[in-house]
Amino acid sequence: MPFADPEKRREYDAEHKRRMRVAEPCPTRLTLPVEFRAKTAADVLALLNEQIETVRQDSSLGSVERAKAVGYLAGIALRAIDAGDVAARVEALESILKSRPKERDAA
């Protein structure tokens, strides 16, 4: 067992915490402008496409890390596409129902 000795474990933890305190923030993180607000599925898709390209071009990531990130973002993109399709169908149905002449109540 690598940390059978409690003293070695404490030393490791202290060193790890020290390294984490002095570490610089990850330079690959992208901060979004404050004015960005996702209002539609198309906005989300545009953001996801941008992030997928950023991940694909990041040379600091290994191929497995890159594949995991792109796969995760692609799954979210598929759900956003589905949401956009549903929204478009609902809008189409609403426009059809609004264009119909109002029927009189038969009662």
Looking at residue 103, what is its pLDDT? 66
Query: Rounded distance, CA 78 to CA 33, Å?
Result: 24
Looking at residue 106, what is its pLDDT? 47
Looking at residue 40, what is its pLDDT? 83
Enter the tokens of residue 40: 């539609």
Position 69 pLDDT exceeds 90: yes
Where is average pLDDT lowest: 33-47, 64-78, 89-103?
Answer: 33-47
Which DSSP helix (H) or strand (E) runs through 83? Answer: helix 63-99
DSSP secondary structure, 23-79, as one string = PPPPTTPPPPPTT----SHHHHHHHHHHHHHHHHH-TTS-HHHHHHHHHHHHHHHHH
Position 51 pLDDT exceeds 70: yes
| pTM tops 0.85, yes or no | no
